[in-house]
Amino acid sequence: MTGPRYLNTGGGPYLERANVTHNGNRSRYGAAANPGRDVTTASLHVFAAARQQIDALGGDTDRLHESVTSIEAEVARGEAADGVVIAHALCTIAGLAPELAAALAAGLLDPSAGVAVAVQSATRWALREAHR
């Protein structure tokens, strides 16, 4: 076998020899399998879509905009992101617009968005808290 092999499973895991689990969106060595897509651009689309949903809601959406902006600022910090800020902002959004919080969380947890593990952990925690 020459060179790394890629298997597009739509993000689902697949197993290869030696019981190593690989994600369908990542190459064998951990680089993005879609080299034409910039990671920062992918995460920016998540926030642009969230802002469009907020604008479509109408009414007083200042708290929603502030929460999305604070999450975006923390995502930009990468692994140094403050999980408490992200979780608090996502819980605020979930209280005001649950569908928006679910869509934003799904975007942040999508492997192609390329957000830091710290951000993904805080997002998962906030989702659990929002569903209590």
CA 19 to chain centre: 27
Contact predicate 50/38, CB 8 Å = no
Residue 33 structure tokens: 């399998």
- Comparing CA positions, the residue from 51, 17, 47 lying closest to residue 110 is 47
On the question of pLDDT at 78 being above 90, the answer is no
Q: What is the pLDDT of residues 23-53, one digit of tens each?
A: 444 433 344 444 444 445 667 788 998 999 9
On the question of pLDDT at 91 being above 70, the answer is yes
On the question of pLDDT at 89 being above 90, the answer is yes
Q: What is the pLDDT of residues 56-75, one digit of tens each?
A: 988 889 999 999 999 999 99
Question: What is the rounded CA–CA span in Å between residue 76 and residue 100?
Answer: 20
pLDDT (0 to 100) of residue 84: 94
* Residue 18 DSSP label: G
